[in-house]
Amino acid sequence: MLIFVSGGARSGKNRYAEDLAAQLAQKKCVYYYAASIAYDDEMDERIARHQAERPASWQTREAPFEPEAVLHEAEPGDVVLFDCLTTWLARMMFMCNRMPDELEHELNEWLKVTEARGLTLIIISNDVNEEVPPHDRRTKQYIHTLQLLHRKLTSEADRAVQMIAGLPLEWKAQ
């Protein structure tokens, strides 16, 4: 099962996705894939807060470059919570110089592995295309690629939820 949760910064998407993961896992394991890297004091605090709020039974994997490894580690029926596509994509494009078609291919591989292994994958991402359009080529490419991946996820998802001011708007339900 694939669930896509999007929303603006501080919209409640993480809390919603975490509550959903806990509900869906029941007696199975939740793997929390954290893509963020602390790059300043505020991010240090956010990461520490997120870590403290997660249930101790969850398997946290802080591996900013290798999300597919978590999908292979999980067992059928487990829930994998991917936090978040936005930061992973930025890292892959800006630090690793990966191209949009490579990243789309990688996303397709995650979806294949998820289905083949009988997992539930919850992917969190930020809505960043509602701001003033950027003027530089790389940022435009990033936003276009993120929107391409969002469209792919919503088309493949069993559920697609957008968080707005802490309220879930179900765009696609099972």
pLDDT per residue of the chain (174 residues) written in tens, 0 to 9: 999 999 988 899 999 999 999 999 988 999 999 887 777 888 788 878 878 888 889 998 887 667 888 999 999 999 999 999 999 999 999 989 999 999 999 999 999 999 999 999 999 999 987 666 778 899 999 999 999 999 999 999 999 999 999 999 999 987
62 is known to lie in a ligand binding site? yes
Nearest to 6 by CA among 156, 173, 154: 154
* pLDDT value, residue 64: 66
In angstroms, the CA 76 to CA 23 distance is 16
Residue whose token pair is 């490894």: 69
36 is known to lie in a ligand binding site? yes
Q: The domain that contains 93 carries what CATH number?
A: 3.40.50.300
Task: Say which DSSP state 50 is in.
Answer: H
Residue 18 in contact with residue 170, Cβ under 8 Å?
no
* pLDDT value, residue 126: 93
34 is known to lie in a ligand binding site? yes
Is this prediction's pTM over 0.85?
A: yes
Q: What is the pLDDT of residues 19-45, one digit of tens each?
A: 999 999 988 999 999 887 777 888 788
* pLDDT value, residue 94: 92
In angstroms, the CA 158 to CA 173 distance is 6
Give the active site residues.
50
Distance from the Cα of residue 1 to its chain's centroid: 14
* pLDDT value, residue 106: 94
* pLDDT value, residue 46: 80
3-state secondary structure 99-154: CHHHHHHHHHHHHHHHHHHCCEEEEEEECCCCCCCCCCHHHHHHHHHHHHHHHHHH
* pLDDT value, residue 103: 95
- Number of compact structural domains in the chain: 1
Residue numbers of the domain that contains 111: 2-172
